[in-house]
Each structure stands twice: as C-alpha cells, then as structure tokens.
C-alpha cells in the first residue's frame, strides 16, 4: 500500500467534506492511511496458501469443523466495517491428508482483510478449500453485523446477515451438526 498517497487521499476527503484541521484532526490523514493498511492487509497474500501444508489423517477423518472464527472486514460498497463469526468445514476424501485447524482460520482472516461483501468471503473460503484440498465437500457459514445497515440507509441496528457457501457434498448429519454449532454463536 502506498501510505503517502493514501494519506493525501484522506486529507482531500476531509477537506472535501469540510472537516476543519485542529488538534484532533491534524494527524488524521496519516493515522487513517495506516489504519487502512492494517485493515486491508489481505491484498498482500493469497490466503489459500495456508492450506498447502497437510498432515496424515485417519482413513476416514469425517467432517472437520472450525466454529466461532472471528470475522472483521470492510464493506466494498460503503467502506464501513462489518464483523461477526464464521464456521468453516470440509469432509476430506477417505485416506486424504488434512490441514491444521489454524489454517482454516487464517484463510478466513486473509479473505476478510480486503474490501469485501460477506457472500464473496464465504465463496472464496470454500473455493480455496476445494481447489487446494480436493475434499468431498466444503462449507462456510458467516453471520455478520453490517455498519452500512446499522448506520445509514435502512438504519436497522439489530439486523444480522447469515450467508452459506457450499461446494461438493456433505451429509445431512454433517449439515445438521454445522448448523447446530454455528447457531451457538462465536463462543460455542
């Protein structure tokens, strides 16, 4: 990220909306540019690379689920934050290696650390798992609270959005377990 260019852009934005420079806002352009660089670090990596390292697994490890994953992102439409939690799962092929659970969380974090829409985060997570691991099936459920819904437009302060992305095949029992775990919230 070009921090000096971002700083100038923020300064221009503040001037355009009539914000007076004072003791509180004099350093806002540089602080804001650094904050955006920190928030949007996901553009600097391919999150699917976290799935490259695998480990031996039992002959049939069953469905693998990581629930309660923190999601923090920025709306691509309004550049306002949204956040919530994700549940990510995949069912390896029999005899297939597995990834460490932290890798699923890293994939979520990497895709969320970009200007995003919630539906695309889920799709990107599942697509990465399917491409890198070739499992029987994969799923990502995200439930988020969107500032662009709370603070502008419809102004609905208690609204959450849940999206489900799925590829391949998961059993009915897998799906029931996933929905049960996800419905417990971010701290199951």
- 161-168 β-sheet, strand order: 115-116, 64-75, 81-91, 137-146, 161-168
Q: What pLDDT does 188 receive? A: 54
How many other β-carbons are positioned within 10 Å of the β-carbon of residue 154? 9
Q: What pLDDT does 11 receive? A: 95
Count of alpha carbons within 13 angstroms of residue 125, beta-carbon side: 35
**Structural domains for the chain:** 3-39 (no CATH), 52-183 (3.30.1130.10)
Count of alpha carbons within 13 angstroms of residue 136, beta-carbon side: 16
pTM > 0.75: yes
Q: What pLDDT does 6 receive? A: 96
Alpha-carbon distance of 20 to 142, in angstroms, equals 39
Give the residue among 8, 34, 107, 101 at the shortest CA–CA distance from 63: 101
Per-residue pLDDT of the chain (188 residues; tens, 9 = 90+): 899 999 999 999 999 999 998 999 999 999 999 999 999 999 999 999 999 999 999 999 999 999 999 999 999 999 999 999 999 999 999 999 999 989 999 999 999 999 999 999 999 999 999 999 999 999 999 999 988 878 888 878 788 999 999 999 999 999 999 989 988 888 75
């Amino acid at each position: 990220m070009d921090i000096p260019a971002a700083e100038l852009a923020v300064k221009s934005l503040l001037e355009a909306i009539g914000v007076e420079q004072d003791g509180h806002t004099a350093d806002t352009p540089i602080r804001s540019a650094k904050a955006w660089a920190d928030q949007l670090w996901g553009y600097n990596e391919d999150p699917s690379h976290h799935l490259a390292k695998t480990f031996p697994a039992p002959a049939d490890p069953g469905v693998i689920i990581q629930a309660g994953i923190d999601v923090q992102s920025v709306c691509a439409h309004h550049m306002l934050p949204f956040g919530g939690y994700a549940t990510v799962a995949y069912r390896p092929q029999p005899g297939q290696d597995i990834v460490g659970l932290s890798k699923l969380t890293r994939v979520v974090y990497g895709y969320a650390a970009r200007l995003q829409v919630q539906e695309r985060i889920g799709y990107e997570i599942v697509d990465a798992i399917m491409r890198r691991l070739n499992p029987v099936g994969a799923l990502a459920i995200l439930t988020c609270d969107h500032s662009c819904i709370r603070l502008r437009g419809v102004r609905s302060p208690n609204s959450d959005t849940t999206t489900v992305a799925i590829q391949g095949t998961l059993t009915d029992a897998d799906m029931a377990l996933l929905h049960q775990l996800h419905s417990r919230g971010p701290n199951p």
